[in-house]
Structure formats: structure tokens, C-alpha cells
Amino acid sequence: MKRFNLFTPFVIAMALLFVAPATQALAEMAKWNLDKDHTTIGFWVKHMVVSKTKGKFLDYSGVVEMDAEAQQFKTIQATIQTNSVFTDHEKRDGHLKSPDFFDTNTFPTMTYTLKSYKKTGDTYTALGDLTIRGITKEITLVGTFNGVAKDPWGNTRAGFSGEGTINRQDFGMKFSKLLDNGGLMVGDEVHITLEVEVIKQKGE
């Protein structure tokens, strides 16, 4: 006949206490797809020191895995078609697609993957891997989570804003022309600007 161990109920209770919340937290994570109709993946660089040239990408996809209510993130991944770069100037866009910059024939996509983040007040600081021209560098993006809303068609949407800075030389974009005053015709620093909207997958 087995002896009843008074310690057994305590062990079971403690296991449920610690395991159940973890399982619940994982269940709250849902996948959200990037909405191209309401997202802008933009950038700007200095031109001839005195002005800014702005551009964006028109073709991309992405997935965010997050608990929107708790504002916690598990994964963020995005793939951008480099050939979709657009600055509203055909000749300049052609140059950006050339080997001087994105070399779109050789490197048709650029990618971003979130590695970690921290939250301070309403501000998120995210570390992630950005790959351009086959070169991967860790970059920092700073942004905000703008909230969640239901649209008239029953979709649940969420929005983000973010920005960061990279050096194009780090990704093999070596094109450079010096001006008479010693400045660069095209700045090395590329400023990233993000306005992102995502839609929660049905059934999540």
C-alpha cells in the first residue's frame, strides 16, 4: 500500500502556479501581417549638404508576433524588394538600383529581423539585424506603439512609428562624389522613417 506524501499536493500546486502563467502568456501571442496600403517604409539622405532627398519602398512584406494588449513582442520580420525603391525621379531611382547602391539585380531583397528590445515609458528601443547587399549589420530603431483598433470590416489593426540611422558605406554602397566645399554630394547617413500598420491574422 502506497503511503500518502503530504508534500505532493504542494509540489503540484507550485508547478501549476509557475507553468500556467507561462502557457497563458504564449497563448496571447498572435501573428499580425503588415498592411501595405497603410504602411510607409521611408528614408532620407542629405543632398549636396544643403537639402534632403526623400524616398520609400513600394513592395514589401512582414510579420509581427506580439501580445498587443500587453504591448510585448516576440518576433518582427520584414522583407523589402529593393527594386521597388522610389524617390519620384526616374533617373535617380535607376541609379539607386545600380551597383553603386542597392545593386537590385544581384541583391533583389533586403531583410530585417528583430533580436531584442527594451521599453522605457512609451518608447521602444529595438535591436535587429538588417541585411542589405548580402551584408548584415545590427541596427537600432527607436519608436512607439500607437495602439489597437477595430476596422469596419471586423479586422483588428495595430500601428507603430519608428526611426533610425544607418551608414550606407557599412552595406557596401561606396558611391561618393566630393563637392568643392569638401562635403559629399550624397550623404553617408541614411535616416530611416517608419509608419507601420499591421492586421491580426484571423483565428489568432
The verdict on residue 22 lying in a domain is no
Domain count, the chain: 1
pLDDT of amino acid 167: 96
What radius of gyration, in Å, describes the C-alpha atoms of the chain? 23
Q: Is residue 9 part of a domain?
A: no
State the Cα torsion 185-190-193-199 to the nearest 10°. Answer: 120
The predicted structure's pLDDT at residue 34: 97
Q: How far apart are alpha carbons 160 and 146 in whole angstroms?
A: 5
For residue 24, being part of any structural domain is answered with: no
Residue 89 located in a structural domain:
yes
Q: List the beta bridge partners of residue 65.
A: 31, 75
Residue 21 lies in a domain: no
pTM (predicted TM-score)? 0.81
Give alpha helix (H) positions in 75-115. Answer: 90-97
Q: What is the full per-residue pLDDT of the chain (204 aa) written as tens digits?
A: 445 454 444 444 444 444 434 434 444 899 999 999 999 999 999 865 456 889 999 999 999 999 999 999 999 999 999 999 999 999 989 999 999 999 999 999 999 999 999 999 999 999 999 999 999 999 999 999 999 999 999 999 999 999 999 999 999 998 876 433 444 457 889 999 999 999 999 876
How far apart (Å, rounded) are the C-alpha atoms in residues 132 and 116? 20
**Domain limits at 195?**
29-200
pLDDT at position 109, please? 98
Question: Which pLDDT score is estimated for 182?
Answer: 41
What is the per-residue DSSP string for 133-199? TTEEEEEEEEEEEEEEEE-TTS-EEEEEEEEEEEEGGGGT-----B-TTS-BSB-SEEEEEEEEEEE
Residue 164: what pLDDT?
98
* CATH number, domain containing residue 148: 2.40.128.110
DSSP, collapsed to helix, strand or coil, labels residue 25 as helix
pLDDT at site 187: 81
